[in-house]
Amino acid sequence: MPDELLLTAAEAGRLIAARELSSVELTRACLERMRTVEGDVHAFVRVTDDLALSQAAEIDRRMAAGENLGPLAGVPIALKDILCTRGVPTTCCSRILENYVPPYDATVIQRLKQAGLVFLGKTNMDEFAMGSSTENSAFGPTHNPWDLARVPGGSSGGSAAALAALEAPLAIGTDTGGSIRQPAAFCGVTGLKPTYGRVSRYGLVAFASSLDQIGPMARDVRDCALLLQVLAGHDPLDSTSIAAAVPDYAAVLEDSVKDLRVGVPTEFFEYRGSRVSGEVEDAVRAAARVFEGLGAACDEVSTPHLQYVIPVYYIIAPAEASSNLARYDGVAYGHRTPRGAADVIELYEETREEGFGPEVKRRIMLGTYALSAGYYDAYYLKASQVRTLIRRDFEKAFENHDLLVAPVTPSLPFRLGEKTDDPVQMYISDVCTIAANMAGLPAISIPAGYADGLPIGLQIIGKPLDEATVLRAAYAFQQAADFHRLAPLDAPGRDGVRAVVAWERRGQR
């Protein structure tokens, strides 16, 4: 395996700018790696090799001409298949969009092009981002590179697995209830869900519009910061995008954390009588001690309404989804039933019956029910009120804390098939991540330990628009604890890889 695959994006970008490594060389190495491991991992649903190689050659040409491009120019990236990409099929891993080729780019895709990133392909995901394991993809699941019998998490499981399997140094995910952070935790990589409104949602296929947010995924914190820098900023095409200045995220990474007040929210460790696994709790408590060791003040804090996150999310998200997904009717775009329909209602019914998978149908039914006349007040309105209480818990906690540290997942990565027959068990796997979406807060997942050769994530939640402090703390932890340098290097073997191998790194960190 070539050494370039072990480079961070920052290192690769530096070498490409110094003309010590060409973007084409690095892109070829990634494409070759994909050919070797994809049969086992299945992180991608589409590889865009021609596009990647032509983008890479263009960057090399511009570098040779002496152009000064950004720090990530020429670096390959994997894109979740939920971002509209002009000329490239964008399916959301749903049969209903199987042949959909968007005529326009999402704002984040445009920004990535502007910054000179190279598009390796589209990553696997749960259909319409509904799920926690990628098992709801219409195109077959992704396997966790640390153990192929286990899920990579979801819905951005393909993006997380591509990073862990060293197929790509950077990836984009989206997070409605944990879909960046939970797969990052399960695959031992780093993923940040920004503040709601920090990154434009224009061109993101909508799931639950009041919760959806696009964010960076990478193998370390610095790379996440550099990628967020590309993604973040106001966009007039998204009415919920925030018009606030974007700080220089990489500039503050090395600042001290000894002034920080860190809260550990008690309720994140137990949901309705069932406690997070011992390994996860130990890793998070140990992380809090690492922050204390770095001079930060740590204490317990309470977010009492956390006990309602699952029922509240599973009313609000499906309600918004049922409305957003009404557009897939077989008329304007996407799948249309090939069976002749007698009338328009039959056309809708047949098209949707054929095009949507079982979990998406379940969400549409849940959401339509919750919004029905007579039930709206009892369900949607009530859930919105409780959402406000959850948000207030955080406002209160942040009156005297800068950050909260918590588990990302209640358990280690589970086995493929383990939760597919029990949707409620699958839903509960997001119990630690949903609250940040409810309150619109930035939150990161970073590697915080290993048990049985499987990664454990640490969640750091910040104040609105304070990604800089989240990243600074995450960077300090990463430098002190050093869990991010582990990868299932020889993955994937048919039996799964349990051996954790320290990365041999080239160049300066």
Assess 131 for contact with ligand GLN (CB under 6 A). yes
Nearest CB to ligand GLN, comparing residues 207 and 291: 207
Let me know if 453 is exposed, middle or buried by CB neighbors in 10 A (0-12, 13-18, 19+). middle
Q: How many CA atoms lie within 13 A of 3 on its CB side?
A: 8
Nearest CB to ligand GLN, comparing residues 22 and 132: 132
Footprint on residues 303-362 left by ligand GLN (CB under 6 A): 317
Question: What minimum distance in Å lies between the beta carbon of 127 and ligand GLN?
Answer: 10
Instruction: Tell me the CA distances in angstroms from 74 to 47, 196, 274, 335, 482, one per residue in order.
Output: 17, 29, 47, 35, 27
Chain position carrying tokens 């340098």: 485
Which member of 94, 132, 159, 179 is catalytic?
Answer: 179
Footprint on residues 267-306 left by ligand GLN (CB under 6 A): none
Chain position carrying tokens 């002496």: 66
Assess 137 for contact with ligand GLN (CB under 6 A). no
Nearest CB to ligand GLN, comparing residues 60 and 127: 127
Nearest CB to ligand GLN, comparing residues 8 and 137: 137
Let me know if 358 is exposed, middle or buried by CB neighbors in 10 A (0-12, 13-18, 19+). exposed
Nearest CB to ligand GLN, comparing residues 107 and 133: 133
Assess 179 for contact with ligand GLN (CB under 6 A). yes
Which member of 22, 80, 241, 463 is catalytic?
Answer: 80
Question: What minimum distance in Å lies between the beta carbon of 413 and ligand GLN?
Answer: 14
Residue 155 annotated in active site: yes
Assess 134 for contact with ligand GLN (CB under 6 A). no
- Sequence-distant (6+) residues with CB within 8 A of 254 are 475
Question: What minimum distance in Å lies between the beta carbon of 508 and ligand GLN?
Answer: 36
Interacting span for ligand GLN (CB under 6 A) from 11-19, 126-134, 144-152, 275-283? 126-134
Nearest CB to ligand GLN, comparing residues 411 and 479: 411
Contact criterion met (CB below 8 Å) for 14 and 26? no
Footprint on residues 184-213 left by ligand GLN (CB under 6 A): 207
Assess 130 for contact with ligand GLN (CB under 6 A). yes
Under DSSP, the state recorded for 262 is E
Assess 264 for contact with ligand GLN (CB under 6 A). no
Rounded Cα–Cα distance for residues 469 and 194 (Å): 12
131: enclosing H helix or E strand: none
Under DSSP, the state recorded for 324 is H
Rounded Cα–Cα distance for residues 27 and 302 (Å): 47
Footprint on residues 145-174 left by ligand GLN (CB under 6 A): 155
Contact criterion met (CB below 8 Å) for 184 and 191? yes
- Sequence-distant (6+) residues with CB within 8 A of 212 are 129, 174, 175, 176, 201, 204, 206
Assess 175 for contact with ligand GLN (CB under 6 A). yes
Footprint on residues 411-430 left by ligand GLN (CB under 6 A): 430
Which member of 23, 94, 132, 155 is catalytic?
Answer: 155
Residue 277 annotated in active site: no
Question: What minimum distance in Å lies between the beta carbon of 424 and ligand GLN?
Answer: 12
Residue 122 annotated in active site: no
Contact criterion met (CB below 8 Å) for 484 and 219? yes
Other C-beta atoms closer than 10 Å to the C-beta of 505 total 13
- Name the site residues for ligand GLN (rule: CB under 6 A): 129-132, 155, 175-179, 207, 317, 430
Q: Which residues are tagged catalytic?
A: 80, 155, 179
